Structure 1
Amino acid sequence: MNSTLRQWTVTACGLLLTLLAPAAWGKGCIAPFVLPTEAALSSAANQTQDRGFLWKISKGGKHSYLYGTMHLGRLEWWSPGPRMLAAIHDSRVIALEMDLSNSATAAKLMQGMRLKEGDLRPAPELTARLRLQAQAECLDWEPLKGLKTEFQLSTVLVAAARRQQLESAFGVETMLTAFAHHQEKPVHALETVEEQLSALRASSQSELTDIVKSSLDDLESGAGTRVLLKLATAWAASDAATLQSYEKWCECVETPAERAMLKRVLDDRNQAIAARLDELHGKSAPVFGAVGALHMFGSEGLPALLKARGYTVETVY
């Protein structure tokens, strides 16, 4: 793996990683992320297993690709397998949920995560519990307290996931961004910053309270990271059955607020993403469209929505 790809391992690793700045290191703390050595990256590049989920989609005499990603990963999962690599090479354009290598997009997203006057906030006792969880992961609360509550929770969960050897720096999007820049392929965003932020925000005070309570219960019990680990390892094994049954085992659709949030984060976003993939396919095929793997399954998943738009959808793996 050359130095350009090695550089992008860090520079395209996502905004949440920048917030994982421990106040102090002590017993029980996870060491900060360190850029892998050239030897470690070369070893990872030699893996030959395809991971995740890949479809070939065809319409109007042209073909593109649809790929289900994982936003957290491990170094040994980071390099693409042979069928994925062939699809990347075949594509003219890489399409991601958002292009965080674009400085304007990254700045806009970071600004949108900031707490503003009038934003919903949880009760003080819930904030106190959340601060304790941040401290348990050796996170500095100062940069976190200026974020909207939803992004405070996300940051703490990402930090906790590192105890399961899951890193945001090794998410699939960082690898795809690296390859796109290395091969001088354009990167297109399938969502706007405003759309993604809107989907991730609670819609009411009662929904926020419910989400914060259940998220804190999961963080305190370790259930949150256990779900992430099961999800990530199923993705790494291309285990579609486990992802298709996600709602049966995630313990994340047990209240009206959780069901509303999941619908907003997955099904509602899929409609706009499918429309933009369709438009991009018409203009720039072959396109390599990569979206979180949970967006791929069920009657409202992207393969089903693209079939409804007239695509032939073939499973590659």
Structure 2
Amino acid sequence: MAQRFRPLMFLAFLASIGVVPSAVAQAPEPPIWVVRDDDSTVYMVGTVHMMREGVAWQSTAVADVLAEADELWLEIPDLTPPDNLGGMIMRLGFSPDQPLSSRLSAEELAGLEAILDEHQIPLESFDSLRPWFAYLQITSLVMLDAGFDPQSGIDVQIKAQAEAQGMPVYGFETFDEQFDLLSGMPDKVQLEVLRQTIADYEESQAELVEQLEGWIGGDLGVLEEGTAEIAAELPEFYEALFVERNVGFVDGIEEILAGSGTALVAVGLGHYVGPDSIPAMLEARGYTVERR
């Protein structure tokens, strides 16, 4: 069966996710997970990093949780790119000695050129990108074309609300760590993700819409299906992007629970589904996790 890679999952990770439908029929009911001990409560919600302005995603329940929380935990606390981003991209995002045109098949290269031609981008300006960075650029084109804005991401909105309440904001990871994870994946994994991104370019927007429409309405079935496909067909990618990072998130949640008070954890929604999800890992460690 051909790999049907879900771009939503990857972009929930860095700062480039979030195609949503222009309208959702039902009132928003995104899931909330809760874990407690004697003196601590941790609420958990999913985020996407790019959204179309004006889409109603925040339910009354999410607003209540945000109002109740004493602190907010995001993937990274500062959503503004670091000053050294350009240097990081030059160091980790380019490989001029291994151009994409020498690593893709004729059919794959033709597909890439068609995408770039549509956006009036010459292949020459793209050819020296490493596969992981090329993947991000292509997926960003899909979303930007559809009118999605990183300034409207759910994490951006939640952080702004938290800061307006005077709530401290913390992060489980750093921008550098996320960059190192992406760029450090084996070349064969990077190339497979890029190849499937090119092959699925025309269908990817509809798939993303279906996943997020389900999530906003409280149905995670399509998202779970996409995660399972990634685990089966890109196991190394899945292990690095989800499993290893979920272990880190759960370690961090346990540290929060070791203190006292109420915290809101808001990380990419792909981290909440499947057998290796944050809720599943917490339950494996003996916690009771409630989904609302």
TM over 0.5: yes
Mapped pair 1:231 → 2:207? no
Give the alignment's Cα RMSD to 1 decimal. Answer: 3.4
Equivalences for residues 1-317 of structure 1 within 5 A:
49-77=27-55, 80-101=58-79, 106-107=82-83, 111-116=87-92, 121-125=98-102, 126=104, 130=112, 132-138=114-120, 148-201=130-183, 203-219=185-201, 222-247=202-227, 252=230, 255=233, 258-283=234-259, 285-316=261-292
- For structure 2, the residue ranges without an aligned partner over 5 or more in a row are 1-13, 18-22
Question: Alpha-carbon deviation of 1:211?
Answer: 2.5
- Equivalent position SS for 1:77: coil
Would the alpha carbon gap of residues 62 and 273 (structure 1) be closer, same or farther in structure 2, given more than 3 Å must change?
same
CA shift for structure 1 position 123: 3.4
Cα distance in 1 between the residues matched to 2:66 and 2:93: 44
Q: Greater relative contact order (Cα 8 A, min sep 6): structure 1 or 2?
A: 2
Label 1:171 to 1:144 Cα distance change in 2 as closer, same or farther (>3 A).
farther
The change in CA–CA distance for 1:136 and 1:285 in structure 2 (over 3 A counts) is: farther
Structure 1 position 188, deviation (Å) = 0.6
Give, in whole Å, the separation in 2 of the partners of 1:78 and 1:107.
33
Paired with 1:131 and 1:277, the residues of 2 have a C-alpha distance of 44
Separation of aligned partners in 1, 2:176 and 2:49: 19
Deviation at 1:109, TM superposition (A): 5.3
Q: How far off its partner does 1:294 sit?
A: 1.2
Deviation at 1:163, TM superposition (A): 4.3
Stretches of 4+ aligned residues off by more than 6 angstroms: 140-146
What is the distance in 2 between the residues matched to 1:56 and 1:275?
16
Closer/same/farther in 2, CA of residues 299 and 79 from structure 1, 3 Å limit: closer
Do the aligned partners of residues 272 and 173 (structure 1) sit closer, same or farther apart at CA in structure 2, a change above 3 Å counting?
A: same
Q: Which amino acid aligns with 1:206?
A: K
**1:204-260 residue CA offsets vs partner (Å, 9 max, x unmatched):** 3333332222221122xx122232222222222221222222246x6x5674xx331
**1:122·1:149 contact (CA, 8 Å) conserved in 2?**
no
* Preserved contact between residue 16 and residue 155 of structure 1 (Cα < 8 Å): no
Amino acid at match of 1:123: L
* Range that drifts further, 143-152 or 282-291: 143-152
TM-score using structure 2 length:
0.76
